[in-house]
Structure 1
């Protein structure tokens, strides 16, 4: 049985007998991401691993850079099992930093560059992070100064690594660390690192309805197999080329773009931001075979009217969260809906799947050992055939438990051990394959282009405003992001409501990430309530949707 070489207190590990079964039947891969990258570099040393407008790296170059950085991190004082905060964008440097941590056994805490004092403070304290990786040129905000500020506030943060900074950044520059570490020395240092498939690879973050970060440990063997499973669904072999323009730190970015590249010889084209015209140019120039979107890309593509000037003949599949039928008619290439949740389930359909499955369901899992059920949210009884129920799952890709969060874990699973997604779905059997269509959510959050916003967290911050007596945040429809936040306010007597800009300035000043700020403000005398006296958020969502449809002023 593969041992856990670097156990981390607070991580819930799958029982040894379960892990042994999954390793034996191929549901987990008996290896590590670092070893997978080394093997890919031996097979394809000269093949391009990463392509971007700024720079591209072959497999040999990527393997060498990550070896040297991994060893430099260990030499600087980080140890296998240590955690490191990450605030970086979608760049080659981010890929190098992540893969170097995977090789060294340092566990990335996959936060975002947009996170501020509230999120970074909570996450750093909760994980006891010792490292901190930031990108110096991400937007106008000074992430380097912010990181140093947070290091003063959180004593465990001791090791700062700055990517894309000017000069040496006080000896903490990513390229300086790589340059100062000889390759042979690096390989000798890394020979001492003991890691296996059951060791923690990364700490991913889940969106939720509260302000407390929920941290999801992902494991080397599990992540490798999970990525391989979705590649089988989409027909992605080692000759494939994938394009990715969304956050690389996301669970989706790593499973769809980073791990297939490291483990399977897939070339990944990286874009630092969504730019539809440039995306199509890159697909044409680099003969991209697969494009995936979890955010606002599909609506922007549907609005793009200059497709005729782009050659998309290399593209075998475009996968998106929704609207695959419209997108396929617009692009003229096979498109399919997908579903993904950081807690461990990916659903999808390949380019050769029947149109109904691709367009009107989210597809099926790529792992035969995954168990999916639809349950009544209250009774936890099975939903009737053809009926709607809460999607619940267990299996090789399912988290065993949130990190250091026993209270959350107590309610996150059914009595039979299925993880509860809070997503309502319906099952469909298409050519003998059971697929699932998304019907709505139970939980109180907003999905803004793939970023989950917990409504209770934002409400608590809005209620700190001196003019606000109470606040309720709900999702409102948006053509690009899918959803944005609309906040309903009950004001204090004699006070004037803040507008969207003023409220955002207040919330950011309180340390909340800007993307979480409400993008519509509505004032009410009182909130609608249900028959049992609870705030009727369904009624508020309906009101917000009606206001958007009417085009009423925000």
Structure 2
């Protein structure tokens, strides 16, 4: 018999902030929200292009109809194991066609995937399980020497409601995900979906403390994918390459795999983004579209000078994750592809794209303009007052695919939203008011204390909290230093108690604590003390000046 706690945790709507009725009515009337379940993207593609390759990896491919049938079979097998519509399951698979199978099988069963990244470790995964009330995990066995099964054992032990650990590959002591497709259930479960409810939970960049969970509804996420596909000019003959981790919002639905499916385009997966691996793959599959973070885009551009096989089939390369300077943008435009598309967006929703056909001036100097005509953007000063047109301030947004509240995070929501429902992005921007750049957004900086390392957003506060648990650490400040390849690298300025420890030992300690692999310091600088502001906070500008001179 379920306990009251189990029942509360299992309730999907507890802690979900829906769209207000008046705005929801506007979005439906405008045709943005079609009342479609997210998995119908695959269902419609299977009906229209049954034999075309839907997803491809090094091991082979699945056609749209084949992928659709696999999703049905596995959804039925999950239902037979007692998983119910509205349950949450942590999905942490590497880039592969099996990621697509798992995502659609969960959706087809009415289960809400929590899209985790391969670099998340026990600290984050346990947090996601606890906040979401997850009843299961889907993981690989061992990747790059890391045993996900051991981590899952620890996470499940700390979260009794997490009863199903399903493993792709050798399951060890857990259940086999791979065996689900071999079962012969009677048919897919009959699931009635409320399209205004969460379809999935994305993971925030973690600007303060542990990452938060972002509920994306069926209505808003179908629109996210289809509107992004239109903004990129995706067509049936395109081939989209997933280079970034597939659980990221960017390669999943901006337009990513989901947007590609809306036009019947093929998605190719790779887990090796290096130019020497990716360039031949692009040539083999005649890839036309991909999404990169800034550091990777610059690396690919450099590699065009020496790699024997060049990515000549690319017509559109989206670059996002952190701001490109005009010089960096022109370097990529000239050296990699004239189909450069700058992206400014977030898993919370709002997306700005430059568009195919924009002038070089727009592509090099801005991060684009809103995807939706109903995206509402405000730029405000520190008092929350709108600045004059063209001035710099914090960007506040709301619209048909931007969240209204993090999942089960009342304190964060009180900080993150204005009284009238605008999301406070934490980014400092200007919206050009006139001239050839009018209507486009330029990202100037950020307000939140984060580090953009290789396309991942790392919370400085969270890393500092981890560092302070080390017995030899008295005080710590995590700051960003510029890096030619990563965009920003993580520097830990540390005041030690007695004898300092080295970077390798400190990162080993973070590994034992289960911190994400992308949140480890690249540089360690011991300091006798940390400079403080007049109000007693660490003065990070002075920290950066001190470590830069070190």
Q: Give the TM-score taking structure 1 as reference length.
A: 0.92
What is the RMSD computed on CA atoms of the aligned residues? Answer: 2.0
1:369 aligns with 374
Moved more, 508-517 or 301-310: 301-310
1:467 aligns with 472
2:203 aligns with 205
User: Matches of 1:120 and 1:286 in 2, distance apart?
Assistant: 35
Q: CA deviation at 1:211?
A: 2.4
Counterpart among 387, 390, 400 of residue 404 in structure 2: 400
2:532 aligns with 529
Alpha-carbon deviations, 1:161-216, whole Å to 9, x = none? 111x13x757832231111135xx223xx2x2001421211111112333233111
2:500 aligns with 497
Change (3 A) 1:540 1:28: farther
**3-state SS in 2 of match to 1:415:** coil
Moved more, 144-153 or 129-138: 144-153
Q: CA deviation at 1:307?
A: 6.0
Name structure 2 gaps, 5 residues minimum.
Answer: 1-10
Does 1:99 find its partner at 2:104? yes
Query: In the alignment, is the contact (CA less than 8 A) between 1:357 and 1:430 conserved in 2?
Result: no
User: Matches of 1:447 and 1:432 in 2, distance apart?
Assistant: 26
Alpha-carbon deviations, 1:249-273, whole Å to 9, x = none? 1111211322113433121111113
Change (3 A) 1:238 1:381: same
Q: CA deviation at 1:281?
A: 1.6
User: Matches of 1:137 and 1:463 in 2, distance apart?
Assistant: 30
Q: CA deviation at 1:38?
A: 0.8
1:445 aligns with 450
Counterpart among 88, 91, 95 of residue 83 in structure 1: 88
Alpha-carbon deviations, 1:487-523, whole Å to 9, x = none? 111222xx12111101101121223223212111112
Counterpart among 251, 262, 280 of residue 249 in structure 2: 251
User: Matches of 1:462 and 1:369 in 2, distance apart?
Assistant: 43
User: Matches of 2:261 and 2:274 in 1, distance apart?
Assistant: 25
User: Matches of 1:22 and 1:75 in 2, distance apart?
Assistant: 37
Query: In the alignment, is the contact (CA less than 8 A) between 2:503 and 2:524 conserved in 1?
Result: yes
Change (3 A) 1:441 1:224: same
Where in structure 2 are the equivalents of 1:52-131 lying within 5 Å?
52-131=57-136
User: Matches of 2:244 and 2:207 in 1, distance apart?
Assistant: 23
Alpha-carbon deviations, 1:128-149, whole Å to 9, x = none? 1001100113221111222123
Moved more, 387-396 or 276-285: 276-285
Query: In the alignment, is the contact (CA less than 8 A) between 1:197 and 1:219 conserved in 2?
Result: yes
Query: In the alignment, is the contact (CA less than 8 A) between 1:374 and 1:426 conserved in 2?
Result: yes
Does 1:520 find its partner at 2:523? yes
User: Matches of 1:72 and 1:24 in 2, distance apart?
Assistant: 38
Query: In the alignment, is the contact (CA less than 8 A) between 1:336 and 1:359 conserved in 2?
Result: no
User: Matches of 2:54 and 2:46 in 1, distance apart?
Assistant: 9
Name structure 1 gaps, 5 residues minimum.
Answer: 1-5
Q: Give the TM-score taking structure 2 as reference length.
A: 0.92
Alpha-carbon deviations, 1:424-458, whole Å to 9, x = none? 11112565851111111111111112222111111
Q: CA deviation at 1:311?
A: 5.3
User: Matches of 2:362 and 2:151 in 1, distance apart?
Assistant: 46
**3-state SS in 1 of match to 2:538:** coil
**3-state SS in 1 of match to 2:142:** coil
Where in structure 2 are the equivalents of 1:315-464 lying within 5 Å?
315-321=314-320, 322=324, 323-376=328-381, 378-428=382-432, 429=434, 431=436, 434-464=439-469
Query: In the alignment, is the contact (CA less than 8 A) between 2:366 and 2:437 conserved in 1?
Result: no
2:6 aligns with none
Alpha-carbon deviations, 1:366-416, whole Å to 9, x = none? 11100112111x211112232211111111111010111111111111233
1:227 aligns with 225
Counterpart among 474, 482, 486 of residue 481 in structure 1: 486
Aligned residues between the structures: 532
